[in-house]
A and B are shown apart, each in its own frame.
Chain A
């Protein structure tokens, strides 16, 4: 403990509850696969770590499977662009799983410039009993071979092999911020600040540019692309968001270059709330289609919004994530926090939405009951099997015990990346270099606290792995 105190004193610029945080370990993306069996994380050091859910044990039918490390590999390496004399970071910006088509799993991982297709295969058997080779692989002396045998497959320790199958390079001048696999399972798109390209998964030397918002004169540039995604069911539709807070739904059937949107979703500015920071806080940092395909979820600096594809004029729902920061925008601009890009997520049934905030808090909003909850991802508040306690930020006025005041929020502890299991109430939260996985005690039910302060049902599963990443 004394050691911890010393480290804290010396390294107050790092996280408080741990000793040094290596920058390479900072998690930069989290993604469940389509069944939820696998969870992939990417970090700033270019590594991908895949977790697998253990099958539920028959001995304890109520305890659900927990996630253990399945595979770790180096996806991207740092590169140097000699022409521009600039480094290309190896940080993994996004990971997207491909739908599983055979025994192998595949995923796309991307850094700022290059997308890679990785194939993950398992090997749990090996052949034994060769005729010409002995067990060590050395050629046998043929005179000793008296009979022929058929080699048999014998079980071996599970080996997970990862290999890069495709490398999609040189498609982007600017930094890639999103990738999205099409529902046709053959194509995918990658978006950078000014352009979106369409690729075929099997073809690496060619891509089609489908959106280009680069002005003829760069001096006229005032808006960039911030995120994009394919529609989950209609393979011709995709959406992209901008730094001015607008969403554009495009139909690839309309033209080869989808510069003209089919629909433009934009909320008129509230004149009473206007400030020099209005545009910055309206910039959309993430956009996600609902599982149903009917709605879109967007995250800007202070809110999450639900949009109906049939209504372009305004979102149908707006939820305040941390409105108490509105009066602090100038300080947040100064320390650059105002540019933080938070992600958002739907639950499997599209009834609850989730997003991260500061101080390792994350928020959930129930669309039906309109109730919301703030939870914290930290070692102290997450003992195994503990029930997460709702947190509250007080803005002055009545202050309850355990409330945090706005001024004591830690802005270095930000939860930018969150993911929700596609079917069950299991969530993955990346808090800097730690991954938290929370699951619901009672399957299929998410309960939000009543006024009496009943604890939230999410609890922390016991971790059986040695990996330091899972808490």
Chain B
């Protein structure tokens, strides 16, 4: 920090600055660690989409951890501050990775989700996790992570997240990283369950669903948007309009 031999002109002031700098470093490294823990937890919740029903205890514990972090970050006032930073850091990576996954998923023929299979729990748990609505975020997080009953509820949340996808892709302007990441992921995960269910009894392991679909022959180079037109049609059937 300070080179040795530097005379201390004003002991009090420099000590304060030193202390403050040191404090800042520990604070920023703590908040970095905390952020990475938050990211890790969110990824873990999303990866709960296996062929077998996810472990509810594990999901609850992870969700509680996420809520703790969010509460602390809200108290610190760092909740809003961190999000845009993160968005700057790697929005493109997320866009690319999810787009590829989307493409591979949609590439499968006849992949129309059957009614009643659009389980609520397959929603990206981060679907509503936007800094602006931090108070509501934990609720939605939890509901989507393990909502398992009532096809009506499922259809509702399915529809809702699709709205967000349309919105996001229309604007192509990620306001917050998590929102974009999760929303684009949502339809993929819904399809994931459907497709793996259709794959005639093959039983992939925890992350095999992802790997299994990625190398699939990529469909036509049509954008996600045109494929979503198809999805729109399906949703109409589901909500019986």
For A219, what are the chain B residues with a Cβ–Cβ distance below 8 Å?
139-140, 142-143
Max chain B C-beta neighbours (<10 A), residue from A85, A220, A224: A85
Q: Please judge, given known A-B contacts A218-B147, A222-B64, whether A87 and B203 are in contact too, CB under 8 Å.
A: yes
Question: B56 to A330, Cβ gap below 8 A?
Answer: no
- Contacting chain B: which of A141-149, A276-284, A370-378? A276-284
Nearest Cβ distance between residue A173 and chain B, in whole angstroms? 7
Question: B146 to A243, Cβ gap below 8 A?
Answer: no
For A224, what are the chain B residues with a Cβ–Cβ distance below 8 Å?
56-57, 60
Nearest Cβ distance between residue A114 and chain B, in whole angstroms? 14
- A177: nearest residue on chain B (CB-CB)? B57
- The contact of B65 among A80, A194, A220, A276, by CB within 8 Å, is A276
For A223, what are the chain B residues with a Cβ–Cβ distance below 8 Å?
60
Using an 8 Å CB-CB cutoff, how does the interface string of B30-66 with A read, 1 for contact, 0 for none?
0001100100100010000001110111101101110
Nearest Cβ distance between residue B32 and chain A, in whole angstroms? 13
Q: Please, how many angstroms separate the alpha-carbon atoms of A218 and B69 in the complex?
A: 20
- A81: nearest residue on chain B (CB-CB)? B53
Question: A174 to B52, Cβ gap below 8 A?
Answer: no
A84 in contact (CB, < 8 A) = yes
Interface residue count on the B side (C-beta < 8 Å): 35
Q: Please, how many angstroms separate the alpha-carbon atoms of A330 and B203 in the complex?
A: 30
- The contact of B55 among A88, A279, A339, by CB within 8 Å, is A339
Q: Please judge, given known A-B contacts A219-B139, A277-B65, whether A330 and B37 are in contact too, CB under 8 Å.
A: yes
B149 in contact (CB, < 8 A) = yes
Question: A221 to B60, Cβ gap below 8 A?
Answer: yes
For B83, what are the chain A residues with a Cβ–Cβ distance below 8 Å?
none
Question: A283 to B57, Cβ gap below 8 A?
Answer: yes
A193 in contact (CB, < 8 A) = yes
B98 in contact (CB, < 8 A) = no
Question: B52 to A87, Cβ gap below 8 A?
Answer: yes
Nearest Cβ distance between residue A343 and chain B, in whole angstroms? 15
A-B contact list, 26 entries, CB within 8 Å: A78-B203, A84-B53, A86-B51, A86-B52, A86-B53, A86-B197, A175-B56, A193-B56, A194-B56, A217-B143, A218-B142, A218-B146, A218-B147, A219-B140, A219-B142, A220-B139, A243-B60, A276-B34, A276-B69, A277-B65, A279-B68, A280-B65, A283-B57, A336-B44, A336-B58, A339-B58
Q: Please, how many angstroms separate the alpha-carbon atoms of A85 and B192 in the complex?
A: 11
Q: Please, how many angstroms separate the alpha-carbon atoms of A78 and B51 in the complex?
A: 12
B116 in contact (CB, < 8 A) = yes
Using an 8 Å CB-CB cutoff, how does the interface string of A305-343 with B read, 1 for contact, 0 for none?
000000000000000000000000010011010010000
Within 336-355 of A, Cβ neighbours of B (below 8 Å) are at 336, 339
A182 in contact (CB, < 8 A) = no
Q: Please, how many angstroms separate the alpha-carbon atoms of A112 and B50 in the complex?
A: 15
Question: A85 to B117, Cβ gap below 8 A?
Answer: yes
Q: Please, how many angstroms separate the alpha-carbon atoms of A339 and B56 in the complex?
A: 11
Question: B68 to A85, Cβ gap below 8 A?
Answer: no
A83 in contact (CB, < 8 A) = yes
For B194, what are the chain A residues with a Cβ–Cβ distance below 8 Å?
85
B123 in contact (CB, < 8 A) = no
A89 in contact (CB, < 8 A) = yes
For B61, what are the chain A residues with a Cβ–Cβ distance below 8 Å?
243, 279-280, 283, 339
Q: Please, how many angstroms separate the alpha-carbon atoms of A436 and B65 in the complex?
A: 37
Question: B40 to A333, Cβ gap below 8 A?
Answer: yes
Using an 8 Å CB-CB cutoff, how does the interface string of A249-278 with B read, 1 for contact, 0 for none?
000000000000000000000000000110
For A359, what are the chain B residues with a Cβ–Cβ distance below 8 Å?
none
B119 in contact (CB, < 8 A) = yes
- The contact of B149 among A173, A221, A336, by CB within 8 Å, is A173
- The contact of A174 among B40, B56, B197, by CB within 8 Å, is B56
Q: Please, how many angstroms separate the alpha-carbon atoms of A319 and B181 in the complex?
A: 44
A226 in contact (CB, < 8 A) = yes
B193 in contact (CB, < 8 A) = yes
Nearest Cβ distance between residue B38 and chain A, in whole angstroms? 9
Q: Please, how many angstroms separate the alpha-carbon atoms of A221 and B138 in the complex?
A: 11
Question: B37 to A85, Cβ gap below 8 A?
Answer: no
Using an 8 Å CB-CB cutoff, how does the interface string of A60-85 with B read, 1 for contact, 0 for none?
00000000000000000010100111
Question: A84 to B56, Cβ gap below 8 A?
Answer: no
For A80, what are the chain B residues with a Cβ–Cβ distance below 8 Å?
201
Nearest Cβ distance between residue A222 and chain B, in whole angstroms? 6
Nearest Cβ distance between residue B149 and chain A, in whole angstroms? 7
For A330, what are the chain B residues with a Cβ–Cβ distance below 8 Å?
33, 37
Max chain A C-beta neighbours (<10 A), residue from B34, B37, B64, B201: B64
For A78, what are the chain B residues with a Cβ–Cβ distance below 8 Å?
203
For B52, what are the chain A residues with a Cβ–Cβ distance below 8 Å?
86-89
- A278: nearest residue on chain B (CB-CB)? B68
Question: B37 to A276, Cβ gap below 8 A?
Answer: yes
Q: Please, how many angstroms separate the alpha-carbon atoms of A221 and B146 in the complex?
A: 9
Using an 8 Å CB-CB cutoff, how does the interface string of B104-127 with A read, 1 for contact, 0 for none?
000000000000110100000000
Nearest Cβ distance between residue B114 and chain A, in whole angstroms? 8
B148 in contact (CB, < 8 A) = yes
Q: Please, how many angstroms separate the alpha-carbon atoms of A449 and B237 in the complex?
A: 71
Q: Please, how many angstroms separate the alpha-carbon atoms of A244 and B120 in the complex?
A: 25
Using an 8 Å CB-CB cutoff, how does the interface string of B2-23 with A read, 1 for contact, 0 for none?
0000000000000000000000
- B114: nearest residue on chain A (CB-CB)? A85
For B65, what are the chain A residues with a Cβ–Cβ distance below 8 Å?
276-277, 279-280
- The contact of A87 among B51, B56, B68, B116, by CB within 8 Å, is B51
Max chain B C-beta neighbours (<10 A), residue from A173, A175, A219, A280: A219
For B201, what are the chain A residues with a Cβ–Cβ distance below 8 Å?
80
User: Closest 5 interchain pairs by CB?
Assistant: A85-B197, A219-B143, A219-B139, A193-B56, A280-B61
- A113: nearest residue on chain B (CB-CB)? B53
- A85: nearest residue on chain B (CB-CB)? B197
Max chain B C-beta neighbours (<10 A), residue from A80, A218, A243: A218
Q: Please, how many angstroms separate the alpha-carbon atoms of A220 and B61 in the complex?
A: 13
